Amino acid sequence: MKRHYFVLLVTLLVFEVKVSGQTDLQQAFRECGIKGSTTIYDYKNQKWIYSDSLDAQKLSLPASTFKIINLLIALETKVIRDENEVVKWVGKTDTTLYGYRPEIYKDMTVREAFEVSAGWVFIELAKKIGRKNYAKYLKACRYGNVDLSEKGADFWNFGRFGISPQNQVAFMKAVYEEKLPFSKRNYGILKEVMFVEKTNDYTIRAKTGWTRDGGIDSGWWVGYVESRENTYFFATRIAKKRTEQNPNFGQCRKTITKTILKQIKAI
């Protein structure tokens, strides 16, 4: 059933694609010395924009971008009351995932955990949410391949669970329109927590992600930018071998995205 469901999902997503002529949207990746893609949906004109249409369809682990749907599920299942609920530090460190960030080893609110991407907080929430609830909501939201075979609690960082950039964008559009099985209150909390940047011309709501599974660094920046005239949904994914040195890898997720958004005059 899972395989049939996923094939249907991919078919539906590909059917919606509207190809658009583009300037050189790969230039930003070359300047960062990194491989990857940016996928964008122009809401007003109902148009998909790709730097690499093939990569836009490929699945990979969502890493911390999964916190977007994870927060909604935690709220909807009442595992947490709101974003200000404090999660107590578990008192043990998984150095394979968190050893390089000692500042996150403390009690913190779910809001703070989202903002600083403290993975251990959402792992504790995942243990309470349970796989049955995840399967229910992931299917209802058409989010990823719903492969929950990974035994570890953080199946979004390791294992066979996967989502494509185009699927990420389609999900963000559905969140924006509030067409998924979550309450209006919970959408409001998520959108507030996702706030990243505001200028006189636009507002960005987004989440980064970075995982290191299989000897590969995989980085994301997923969200949307609103202006008075339009809304653009985006998913940028970059990747490199862990043995390759690129000190700008983390920053490149945002740099590339903003460069392309400027190229298409979204910001």
**DSSP state, 163?**
B
Q: Taking the alpha carbons of 127, 131, 134, 136 in that order, is the dihedral positive or negative?
A: negative
The CA distance from 143 to 141, in Å, is 5
Whole-Å CA distances, 183 to 75, 107, 125, 189: 9, 27, 19, 10
Whether 117 is catalytic: no
The CA distance from 245 to 138, in Å, is 35
Amino acid at 212: R
**Which of 172, 158, 153 lies closest to 223, judged by CA?**
172
Whole-Å CA distances, 221 to 39, 75, 80, 116, 169: 11, 23, 25, 14, 11
Name the helix (H) or strand (E) containing 49: strand 47-50
The CA distance from 52 to 188, in Å, is 32
Amino acid at 228: R
Q: Which of 64, 117, 164, 218 is catalytic?
A: 64
Please list the residues that pair with 37 across neighbouring strands. Answer: 237
Report whether 48 contacts 38 (CB < 8 A): no
Q: How far separated are the first and last CA of the chain, in Å rounded?
A: 42
The CA distance from 117 to 85, in Å, is 16
Q: Which residues are catalytic?
A: 64
